[in-house]
Amino acid sequence: MQYLNNRARSHLSSPAECELETLGRGGGWVNQAYSGSTPSLPQAVSSVYTPQSLFHSSMDSMCSLSIPGSSNPYPPTEAKVSERPAQIKKSTGCCSCLSKVIKGIWGTTMTEDTSENRELYVKTTLRELFVYIVFLVDICLLTYGMTSSSTYYYTKVMTDLFVNTAGDSGVTFQSIGSMADFWMYAQGPLLNGLYWTTWYNNQSLDYGSQSFIYYENMLLGVPRMRQIKVKKNSCKVHKDFENMILDCFDVYNDKKEEEEVFGLINGTAWQYHPEKSIKGSSHWGLLTTYSGAGYYQDLGKTRQESEEFLETLKTNLWLDRGTRAVFIDFSAYNANINLFCVIRLVVEFPATGGAIPSYQIRTVKLIRYITTWDYFIIGCEMVFCVFILYYIVEEALELRIHKLSYFNSIWNILDVVVILLALVAIVFNVFRTLKVDNLLGKLLEQPDIYADFEFLAFWQTQYNNMNAVNLFFAWIKIFKYISFNKTMTQLSSTLARCAADILGFAVMFFIVFFAYAQLGYLLFGTEVESFSTFNKCIFTQFRIILGDFDYDGIERANRVLGPIYFFTYVFFVFFVLLNMFLAIINDTYSEVKEELASQTDEVQITDIIKQSYMKTFMKLKLKKERISDVQKALRSGSEELEFKDFRETLKEMGHADHEISAAFAKFDRDGNNILDKDEQERMKQELEEKRDALNAELNNLGKNMGSSNKPSENADGGNNSTVTQEEFQMLVRQVVQLECAVTTIMSKTDAVTAKLELKSGNKGSMGKGRNDDERSTSDGNVLVNVDKSLKERLPSWSLNGPEGSTAANRLYPNIERLKSFENNNSTQP
């Protein structure tokens, strides 16, 4: 006897169990009145003790209750078994196997025909949801594996050191306001932060000339200082000032960029270098976007060398009126947390004079695979690639089936976006790994060169941003798989229905909004920073809606028009337009909620779970009943039980010959068709073990099913949460009555519809006396025939009839009481 998960597998397999499994595959018992779908043909359900059918499968006899022992509309079990090899041979082709595999793996609601089967739609959606949740967990691990809390603290430490630390002169990077302040910062706080070669007690770090910032962060290569200049006389001076103003330097423009040598002439600091030659990259500053070209000076490995370079540049006027921006680039690596910190300090010198400092610190993880967690991430990346391949095939199959109509769904477009972003991420991941290895190799060979990690840091940041957006879309895509629940569809239904109204309202809103934005820019742009550009005006007005505004600054800029602008904007935009927007959404939401409340409930997840519980419960119940039958057969025998007696006893209980023979032959070791005392004991012992295992499972199911099942005594005297046979029969009667009532209503509805169609067809022929009489007579005959056919097709449901056999009395032990009860009800007025 074989066991699986402490569950004893029965050696008897009745047709009832097969039918239950068929019901599970074909959709289970579905309450058609609840699901709201077209009633399907009733499934035939076998009794507990006999494999004979309880209901006929045809529509004409769906309401007649057949007593066990009557004619069986199903072919014998032996015939079904004999037909199976032929069916298996037909499906052994390579094409059929491949189609089954594709259907099983890539079957979705768009590739399966689920329009007529709500339960299949829910099951397919749940399978898709389960696979997608695994994919979502994998992409979350990949995304969060790229960052950590140490990233923030690393960035903060470097910001405090190079941006907020003041030198002996009291100048910090943020306080730079002129070229003189820049040189004081460069020769003070900058050099102090870059070169750490001794401990706080002036003891050497034992790393030679290699600098370790904060004793932990290795300075990679040497820092680089680069400037961008514009040409002399790049702008035109008014003729009234030509004698007083000899030179003119325009605002920065790449077409007006200075390319001539100046100063000492020799050296990279005095010669122009194109962007390609120095492998630079453009920078988006506060004022404009600067190219990656210019004049640059690499500092030294030691503080002393760097001081000499800076003094030379300062003495020979490296910065002049044509300078528009200075960039200071360097990188550090912390091996403790395996993070690179790429720092760029920018000081812009606008044409107005002065200086505008800004900085950019990117803390990224460029070396990916070191720790055990990193190698776990490798596995997640491989799984991610498999998932992307899986979804590419899935979307290709859906696109092949639906053609261009595939793009009518926003969810399909979102699927394509997620896949494209994932493919870009995979390609960049490979490129980044190869590029970092190449760059680190060059840096190890030449430690005195500038380590240009700016390009990699920039694209790593874009890669992280892309993954963040992709993860956001991946989370939003969950709504695609939970839309079968009407509660979950409220958001999408509301937005879809009010989209047209919101679009029309948005036109009106932005007309007013941009009018106020231009008014604010022109009124306050010269004095209030938040209105200094048109883009800032737009965001400032959104902040005013949220309650974040600088009223004092507006009033100082214009004491008359400032308050008028503020109060009219708040009234029209906040009190009027914003509330109209909310009213549109609220009204639409109320309509959607009312419609969903009036709709008939469809098959939900809870219904499928309940059906699975009931199916499992009934299968265990049937196994237990078969074990009881065998135990009764054993108790009826003597010390030696012959096969003939064993067969006759179980035959009366409704079991098939092949099942009885298989069970007997399993314990008949000597093959003499007689079970001796030892063989009977072994059979009893195994049956008891099976029964105990089934009782345990029935108890567990009974607890989960709640109060729907009442506890009852089993044959061994133990308490068991089961459904009694009498309760099962009562449930069967109720189901039959419900099906009869539904069929009667449908038939009467068809008759009324036919009558209405006949009457509507006669309206055009009124006034033709004889024809009208003949037609009315024919109409009456048709209606009489329809009524007769209804009466003939709807047999009355009754328990009166031939009992059939002793199996019927055993299936319905109270059959006489039920018949008398029905007769009494029929005789009452």
| Annotated binding-site ranges for Ca(2+) | 668, 670, 679
- Alpha helices (H) along 546-604: 551-557, 561-569, 578-598
CA distances from 590 to 23, 424, 428, 652 (A): 40, 42, 47, 63
Residue among 162, 157, 160, 183 nearest 173 (CA): 162
CB distance 11 to 666 below 8 Å: yes
Rounded CA-CA distance 566/543 in Å is 13
Rounded CA-CA distance 370/391 in Å is 30
CB distance 670 to 606 below 8 Å: no
Report residue 457: phi and psi, to 5°.
-65, -40
Q: Which residues contact 215 (CB under 8 A, 6 or more apart)?
A: 196, 199, 205
CA atoms within 13 A on the CB side of 294: 29
Mark the binding-site residues, compressed into ranges: 668, 670, 679
Q: Which two tokens stand for residue 295?
A: 């004049």
DSSP assignment, residue 369? -
Cα-Cα-Cα-Cα torsion 33, 34, 38, 43, nearest 10 degrees, comes to -80
- Which parts of 619-684 are beta strand (E)? 641-642, 674-675
Rounded CA-CA distance 128/25 in Å is 18
Angle at 524 between CA 518 and CA 527, to 5 degrees: 145
CB distance 363 to 154 below 8 Å: yes
Rg value, the chain, Cα: 43
Answer positive or negative: Cα dihedral of 522, 525, 531, 535.
Answer: positive
Residue among 637, 626, 608 nearest 484 (CA): 608
Task: Specify the long-range contacts of residues 251-255, CB closer than 8 Å, at least 24 apart.
Answer: 251/287, 251/288, 251/324, 251/350, 251/351, 252/228, 252/287, 252/288, 252/290, 252/324, 252/325, 254/291
CB distance 503 to 172 below 8 Å: no
Q: Which residues contact 648 (CB under 8 A, 6 or more apart)?
A: none
CB distance 240 to 258 below 8 Å: no
Rounded CA-CA distance 381/430 in Å is 11
